[in-house]
Amino acid sequence: MNVYDFNVLDSQGNKVELKQYLGKVLLIVNTATGCGFTPQYEGLEKLYQELKPQGLEILDFPCNQFLNQAPGTNKEIVEFCQLNYGVTFKTFGKIAVNGKNADPLYVYLRKEKPLSEPVKGKGLIKKIFFGSKIEWNFTKFLIDKNGNVIKRFSPTVTPDQLIEDIKSLL
């Protein structure tokens, strides 16, 4: 089993088979439009523009599970990202990443790469989450061209800190 075995819904509710990304390096990110990490959209877009020609795809999964920081509709979220950050990478439909309603893709990602070290930071993020749960918005998973989960990055890791890891897989 790998990432390409999953189907997800796009922002309009259409089924998307992740096998269409076969041969690409993927960065899968759960996001929110009203989070302290939301400005990372700018860095993600910059990363995407720089590395898309070499085979990077960023898959954006809005999630409202963390203090209701992604309250809008799928359409509102897509518009927000495009208008405020010029996002051109794919934004999918809003999902749950933890709990009994977690999307199967995220159940798989969490199982493959549990959080192996405490989150750097303080407060709520550091105190509550450890183990396989997604700790907060903007947790990132790096997937190789064969659909294998290679690395998990905490929300505090910024897009510019991912360049070397991504380039090593391109």
Q: 2, exposed or middle or buried, with CB in 10 Å at 0-12, 13-18, 19+?
A: middle
Residue with tokens 């796009």: 10
Distance CA 81, CA 15 (A): 21
Is 81 an active-site residue? Answer: no
Distance CA 168, CA 170 (A): 6
Alpha helices in 35-73 (DSSP H): 40-51
Of the residues 3, 35, 87, 157, which is catalytic? 35
Picking from 3, 11, 169, 8, the residue whose alpha carbon sits closest to that of residue 87 is 11
Residues annotated catalytic, as ranges: 35
